[in-house]
Amino acid sequence: MQKSKYLILFVLGAYLLWLGYLLQTGLIHQYINPKLAYLTVLSLLLLGTMFIYTLYQEIKPARLKDHHQGCNGEAEHDHCNCEHGKSIGFKNVWILLVPIILSWLVAPTSISLSSNPTVSTVKSKTNSKLKGNLQEYTQLQIGEYLFEKPGAKREALLGAKIYLIGKVFRTPVLNSDEIVLYRMLISCCAADAVPLGVVVKLPIKNDLVNEEWVGVTGSLEFLAFPEQLAQIEPITNLVPPEKIYPYFTATKFEKVATPVYEYLFP
């Protein structure tokens, strides 16, 4: 077997292990929408087929015999001067390993609006419904209700006692007691991530910093959208044609653990 063939098998095997690891650990959701995970499974099947086929072609006796005959009886496969023996080499194939190497050297983290690291690294699940009359919503659900025609869903949202979690984003454009509580929305993969944020007025002075995960309890209202907020992307992404935006008044807040799924998925 040529050295380049060994390398091809090694690359295929490495990708099989890498993608299998991402699926098994759930880290694949740091890259793509869970609804598209089946594409990763299909990729695994395709790579597995390629690996088996390449290996089979190399160990099949008839194939080896035909190969040596085509090379004018050369005894050593590595010294064969056939044209196909020069079709691929180490310099070309090793580049394919770069994504795998980088993924091991740099742990996957969620996309954020600032360079500050996320303070909380503990994973936890959150319930869609909480005890009593407290209802949990996400920035995505709020956006969906905003962009729908005014109706019962908006009214229910405005009349509810809401629990909302997200990452903190502070900006001098807002008052000192206000923050943007945002999460990233992924439609397909991390490359199309879009921030969705709600302005939150906190009840007391605080020392919250960018990228901390926070949960707030309170109520929501829709206010006329002021132009000075136009530079804050997470907010403008939740502004419907009526030029209103969601404003959350918190009665209490708390630092929370990072949710299992940091991104929101439509």
pLDDT in tens, 34-57: 787 788 888 888 888 888 888 887
- Kind plus residue range of the DSSP H or E element containing 129: none
| Overall fold of domain 123-259 | OB fold (Dihydrolipoamide Acetyltransferase, E2P) (2.40.50)
pLDDT in tens, 126-143: 444 454 578 899 999 999
Sign of CA dihedral 164, 167, 173, 176: positive
Locate 73 and state its tokens: 């009886």
- Percent of the chain at pLDDT exceeding 70: 75
Strand partners, 220: 248
Q: Tell me if 147 sits within 8 A of 172, measured CB to CB.
A: no
**CA-CA distances (angstroms) from residue 240 to 130, 178, 185, 222?**
28, 22, 17, 11
Domain ranges of the chain: 3-105, 123-259
Locate 92 and state its tokens: 């070309």
Least confident of 77-91, 112-126, 175-189: 77-91
Q: Where are the alpha helices (DSSP H) in 128-192?
A: 139-147, 152-158
Tell me the pTM: 0.70
Q: What is the mean pLDDT of the chain?
A: 80
pLDDT at 77: 47
User: How deeply is 40 buried, as exposed, middle or buried, from its count of CB atoms within 10 A (0-12, 13-18, 19+)?
Assistant: middle
Average confidence (pLDDT) over 209-234: 95
- Percent of the chain at pLDDT exceeding 90: 38
Q: Tell me if 186 sits within 8 A of 140, measured CB to CB.
A: no
